[in-house]
Amino acid sequence: MAHLEKGSKKLLNAWAFYDWANSVYTLTIASSIFPIFYSALFADEIKKVSAFGFEFKSTALITFVTAFTFLVVAFTSPLLSGIADYVGNKKNFMKFFCYLGGAGCIGLYWFSLEHIYTSLLFYFMGLMGYWGSLVFYNSYLPDIAFPEQQDKISAKGFSMGYIGSVLLLVINLAMVMSQETGEAKMQMMRYSFLTVGIWWIVFSQYSFYILPKGTSKGNKVTASVVFNGFKELKLVWKQLQQNLRLKRYLGAFFVFSMAVQTIMLVAVYFGEEEIAWAEDGKTMGLIVSILVIQVVAIIGAVLTSRASAKFGNIQTLIAINIIWMGLCFYAYFMITPTQFYIAAGLVGLVMGGIQSLARSTYSKFLPETKDTTSYFSFFDVAEKIGIVIGMIIYGTIDQITGSMRNSILFLFVFFLIGIILLFRVPREKE
């Protein structure tokens, strides 16, 4: 493949196309069909599973495994990105995680409670592969696009990912709903895991074919290079002490993001367990809820960007956190599918908005002369550690009290603290 110039349309489109390939993981595996499948493995009256020498509530176990995976991602991503930057072959790292994730999705076909450790390993591989490949995918952006192109091509990647993932989910939904019996529907869910793994691996080939290896430096990896990423994070931490505005904003982001990401990761498990569905309506109802969230999230992102332009980023983030806080309170009391659909619409409205606005606000607050890559690496690690803490707290409350309602209500506290911390961010020009 001939070398393409930075900023060329073909190169930018090839980068964005990886979103089409990998976004099917987040929608089908992380958000919709796998949570429904996992919950359906358990009889309604027995939601317990023995693993690692303990008896876990089913939802608590998957929450803890998810938290552990994000902990591994949080500690390995700076290490691996440091090595990739030094050696100059980030494409190989991205490929490795793509194939690891794809293989994990395919492996979920054999997920069973009888082989719980192997099954959870496949789940771990899928989650690890997705987030691991994303570290290198995101780091390509400044290499392939000029600053004035980055927002546009990043948005194009998001929209391609959205279209691809919804398309496959609709196909998977048709596969599941074409069956009459619960057993046949479960088998179709297993087939849907295969389609995700194959889709991800096959469609990523175009991106891998076009994208450059990285800046081929041919450097050898030494012990000091391995820890380069962590040294950069430590440097950012020191620099933050001199930047009160950025430091206070990051503290607020860490707290409210912890709650947002946790809700997004557990929403379907909550809906499956706590909502009183009609006998045959649960699977369809939950997937419709996911599609509602996806569609409304696009509208929410547009409305949020308009609100931030008019009222300022911090004020808009405070307003969104107040809505999230109300949602936690509302979720504690909701019982019917209609109430769940209303919650899904509200989650969609504030989900896309808070994620995009949180990142762009951080970007605006960065000091001009500093290395933005290191700052964003710090931002990503803070987000992952927040997810770990949020998931552990959520899973622990669920395990001890036996109800996810208590867990979701407790997240109310994080949004409240996040709002208080946002009020403490110095009001300079945004």
Query: Does position 85 have pLDDT exceeding 70, yes or no?
Result: no
The C-alpha atoms of residue 364 and residue 403 are separated, in whole angstroms, by: 40
Compute the Cα dihedral for 406, 124, 257, 297 and give only its sign.
Answer: negative
Instruction: Choose between 19 and 379: higher pLDDT.
Output: 19
How would residue 120 be classed by pLDDT, with cut points 50, 70 and 90? very high
**pLDDT tens digits, 182-217:** 889 899 999 999 999 999 999 999 999 988 876 555
Sorting pLDDT into bands at 50, 70 and 90, what band is 430? very low
Name the residue with tokens 């936690």. Answer: 328
- Neighbouring CB atoms inside 10 A of 228's CB total 18
Choose between 43 and 393: higher pLDDT.
393
Domains of the chain by range and CATH? Answer: 6-212 (1.20.1250.20), 229-430 (1.20.1250.20)
pLDDT number for residue 2: 52
Closest CA to 154 of 18, 347, 4: 18
Residue 227 pLDDT exceeds 90: no
Comparing 4 with 317, the larger pLDDT belongs to 317
Percent of the chain residues topping a pLDDT of 90: 23
Confidence of residue 122 (pLDDT cuts 50, 70, 90): very high
pLDDT digits (tens, 9 = 90+) for 380-390: 888 889 889 98
**292/106: higher pLDDT:** 106
Question: Which tokens go with 128?
Answer: 């690890």
pLDDT at position 368: 67
Asked if the model's pLDDT at residue 86 lies above 50, the reply is yes
- Average pLDDT of the chain is 83
**Residue range 259-276: mean pLDDT, rounded:** 84
Q: Determine the pLDDT at residue 101.
A: 96
- State in Å, rounded, how far the first CA of the chain is from the last one: 43
Residue 225 has pLDDT above 70, yes or no: no
Most confident of 60-74, 205-219, 270-284: 60-74
**pLDDT interval class at 220 (50, 70, 90):** low
pLDDT by residue (tens digit) across 40-58?
887 665 677 777 777 788 8
What percent of the chain has a predicted confidence (pLDDT) above 70?
Answer: 89
